[in-house]
Structure 1
Amino acid sequence: MGNSITLIATAAMGLEAIVAKEVRQLGYEDVTVENGKVIFQADHQAIARCNLWLRTADRVKLLIGEFKAMTYDELFEQTKALPWENYIPEDGKFPVNGKSHKSTLFSVPDCQAIVKKAIVERLKQKHGVANWLQETGAEYKIEAALLKDKVTVTLDTSGVGLHKRGYRTGQGDAPLKETLAAALVQLTNWRGDQPFYDLFCGSGTIPIEAALIGQNIAPGFNRSFSAEEWDFISSDIWDKALEEAEDLANYDQPLYIYGSDLDPKMIDIAKENAMEAGLADLVQWKQMQATDFHSTHEGGYIVSNPPYGERLGDKEAVEEMYRKLGSALRNYPSWNVYILTANEKFEALYGKEASKKRKLFNAFIKTDYYQYFGKKQR
């Protein structure tokens, strides 16, 4: 098997361009951006590096094959024609997930069963197994995705989704995914040398992601991935990638990161999460109302995901809070303010039109990221 492979980094809607930028920053230039995914050519080393470093991708998949199938026979034969023995050993465990959209073969359970059967036949033949495969070894999670009769077959290299960094010991009612939190930070031009505040920090995800970015710490450094168990990727590849991550981390970078929340329980959870991430000394936490924000710094960044007021009883209180927030932050014209909310009246309530807006999805909630650029200091 050659060293050249095709990888697919999956992404939440609206984050594809950020994921593509991260992939290019890792040195992979042959990049194609599609809805919900970024496809790129790479080598085996990229499996380890991308899992460790991609802050905003959901997972990294290895493309095994693509083909058109309009009948179950075609699906079976073309799946069986793929070189599965290059990837899955005789004792490999290989569950098959499927999805089908706008395709002739619309029954997902049937497609999954046929793909599984085709791989079993191929592996029995190639590994010389007469009866059945044990499936007692490492897991090779397969996905067969059908879109307009085109079948894309992949192996999931990540395992648990990449948003699970391993530091979240607790969370609130509506936690922000770590991948989206990292994207919110990356959509600013904060570089770690200026103060950074989250006035609605909840369980601390935005300040923690900012600290990881500020010190260039790989987000996957403290967790494991499915592909670490795979025979065809040598342990040297993972050792080398971890060594690179250790070398590139800038633990001496001083950071001025603050997280505050009205709920003291959330501050306790945020502190625990920061400690779990190994960042206990990098973020300062405070229980306070967002509208009591005060700073002596000339300029800085505020990045927050406040309550949206989606529940009927909360709406008025939240909208009043937006008004008060706008009036409190008017005293800081040189600060850059970034607010994610689903409330479409935000600008009117806040009392100022955003410099820029970007549509993003927080889970399945359509939101806007309101960006207010601070006045330049003389």
Structure 2
Amino acid sequence: MKQVFHYFAPCPRGLEGVLAEELAQLGALGIAPTDGGVAFHGDWALMYRANLHSRIASRILWRLVDKSYRSEDDIYKAARALEWPELFGVERTIKVAVTGVGCKLKSLDFIALKVKDAVCDAFRAQCGERPSVDTANPDLRIHVFLTERQMTLYLDTSGEALFKRGYRRETGDAPLRENLAAGILRLTGWKVDEPLLDPMCGSGTFLVEAAMMARHMAPGRWREFAFAKLKQFDAALWAQLKQEALAAEQPEAVTHIYGSDDTPDVLMAARANLASAGVSDAVVLEEADALERSAPVEHGVMVCNPPYGIRLEEQTWLDALYPMLGHALKQRFSGWRAYYFTADLRLAKLIRLSASKRTVLFNGALECRLFEYRMVAGSNRKQD
């Protein structure tokens, strides 16, 4: 009988549904989406696969404690009761992070200190020394989540956040996180054999993520994970899973992925990222103005993250841009599904097209929308 462990995968808010579908495809059981992530359970190998293959999760957290509390001392006792030296060696550095929703205790920083003390006290009692704290680049991260009366303690099996794939070489202004881009692609319903266009591609995040999906490339193929620093790490099993992932890749798969931008330096960044990910030949990239370029083929999916303004002069410029985007869609992209991801909620009104779907998403704490426009000739223009 395989041992069952309980996990939680946080993700950008709004992507919980597509993350739940992805985890089910990976073999997760007991899938329970909640605000900001998905709880699930399975064996140790499932945790390896989720880290290696999840395009949407931010981390894979292993749940060690889930119980009620009333005071800081209760939290200390719950953490102290764990056999920490059985989980990892004293030479590993640690970091404790605490978040709370409705927690009535005075200081989350003090709770983090109490949990750190509990871990160190467990090591001192068993082996006479304690692990060091490294807040910048720890070997292992411990996460504590508190509601008003319930504490949940997790050990982070991922290490660096999973959106840090390891391929990015260049960034544009405020690049889209890779897992948010992958989740948006899932929300559009894009299939890997459909044409895809990003006409404002920036540093190429949508393009790289789409090409990796089309070629069945695991997003974690380039990077290392914190679970390799746990005593329970099974190197042979991990090597087998990585080899299976590499064998499943389809480097010769025909793709129909297109990208463009009107700034040469930005295109250079996109080309660097495509090359680093090994998918340069999967994407047709060109210099073009999004307002002037034509559809590369008759039907397909357009997805992009247009600029949005903070300052007044930027908003004035966008007031003129958005109607022109709508006009370009109407004139040149009949037969396409178009998706705009934006934090500027004025886009839906100013683009002067009727959105067929509006999905609420969050980019960090920033509330955004994914607007869908189905471009059927003569049917989308709003009446004046």
Asked if 1 retains the 8 angstrom alpha-carbon contact of 2:27 and 2:46, the reply is no
Question: Are 1:359 and 2:360 counterparts?
Answer: yes
Question: Are 1:373 and 2:374 counterparts?
Answer: yes
| Alignment correspondent of 2:380 | none
| Alignment correspondent of 2:162 | 162
Write out the 4+ residue segments of structure 1 that deviate beyond 6 Å after TM superposition. Answer: none
Code of the aligned partner of 1:372: Y
**204-213 or 326-335, which deviates more:** 326-335
Aligned with 1:133 (options 122, 130, 133): 130
Equivalent residue of 2:219, what SS?
A: coil
**94-103 or 302-311, which deviates more:** 94-103
| Alignment correspondent of 1:310 | 310
Give the alignment's TM-score, normalised by structure 1: 0.93
* Aligned-pair CA distance for 1:329: 1.5
Q: 1:365/1:109 Cα in 2 relative to 1: closer, same or farther (>3 Å)?
A: closer
For residues 70 and 77 of structure 2, what CA distance do their matches in structure 1 show?
Answer: 12
1:175-324 superposed matches below 5 A: 175-295=175-295, 297-324=297-324
Q: 1:29/1:295 Cα in 2 relative to 1: closer, same or farther (>3 Å)?
A: same
Asked if 1 retains the 8 angstrom alpha-carbon contact of 2:86 and 2:231, the reply is no
For residues 245 and 376 of structure 2, what CA distance do their matches in structure 1 show?
Answer: 36
Asked if 2 retains the 8 angstrom alpha-carbon contact of 1:341 and 1:369, the reply is yes
Structure 2 regions of 5+ residues with no counterpart? Answer: 378-384
Asked if 1 retains the 8 angstrom alpha-carbon contact of 2:196 and 2:301, the reply is yes
* Aligned-pair CA distance for 1:104: 3.2
| Alignment correspondent of 1:56 | 56
Q: Which digits, 9 at most, give the CA deviation of each residue in 1:9-36, with x for residues without a partner?
A: 0111111112111111111131111111
* Aligned-pair CA distance for 1:358: 0.4
User: What is the number of residues matched between the two proteins?
Assistant: 373
1:20-59 superposed matches below 5 A: 20-59=20-59
Equivalent residue of 1:369, what SS?
A: strand
Structure 1 regions of 5+ residues with no counterpart? Answer: none
* Aligned-pair CA distance for 1:206: 0.7
For residues 308 and 358 of structure 1, what CA distance do their matches in structure 2 show?
Answer: 18
Code of the aligned partner of 1:143: H
Q: 1:297/1:123 Cα in 2 relative to 1: closer, same or farther (>3 Å)?
A: same
Code of the aligned partner of 2:309: G
Equivalent residue of 2:188, what SS?
A: coil
Q: 1:363/1:88 Cα in 2 relative to 1: closer, same or farther (>3 Å)?
A: same
Code of the aligned partner of 1:230: L
Equivalent residue of 1:291, what SS?
A: coil
Asked if 2 retains the 8 angstrom alpha-carbon contact of 1:56 and 1:183, the reply is yes
* Aligned-pair CA distance for 1:105: 2.5
* Aligned-pair CA distance for 1:343: 2.7
Asked if 2 retains the 8 angstrom alpha-carbon contact of 1:195 and 1:256, the reply is yes
Equivalent residue of 2:253, what SS?
A: coil
For residues 133 and 94 of structure 2, what CA distance do their matches in structure 1 show?
Answer: 10
Asked if 2 retains the 8 angstrom alpha-carbon contact of 1:204 and 1:274, the reply is yes
For residues 347 and 96 of structure 1, what CA distance do their matches in structure 2 show?
Answer: 42
Identity %: 31
For residues 81 and 134 of structure 1, what CA distance do their matches in structure 2 show?
Answer: 17
Q: 1:17/1:296 Cα in 2 relative to 1: closer, same or farther (>3 Å)?
A: closer
**190-199 or 136-145, which deviates more:** 136-145
* Aligned-pair CA distance for 1:135: 4.7
Question: Are 1:342 and 2:343 counterparts?
Answer: yes
For residues 90 and 364 of structure 1, what CA distance do their matches in structure 2 show?
Answer: 36
Q: Which digits, 9 at most, give the CA deviation of each residue in 1:106-144, with x for residues without a partner?
A: 31222122112222222333x3x23x2255998222122
For residues 349 and 233 of structure 2, what CA distance do their matches in structure 1 show?
Answer: 54
For residues 368 and 134 of structure 1, what CA distance do their matches in structure 2 show?
Answer: 44
Q: Which digits, 9 at most, give the CA deviation of each residue in 1:348-373, with x for residues without a partner?
A: 32221111110111233211111123
Q: 1:287/1:240 Cα in 2 relative to 1: closer, same or farther (>3 Å)?
A: same
| Alignment correspondent of 1:18 | 18
Q: Which digits, 9 at most, give the CA deviation of each residue in 1:166-213, with x for residues without a partner?
A: 111111222111111111111122212222110111111011111111
Asked if 2 retains the 8 angstrom alpha-carbon contact of 1:343 and 1:367, the reply is yes
* Aligned-pair CA distance for 1:296: 5.3
* Aligned-pair CA distance for 1:230: 2.0
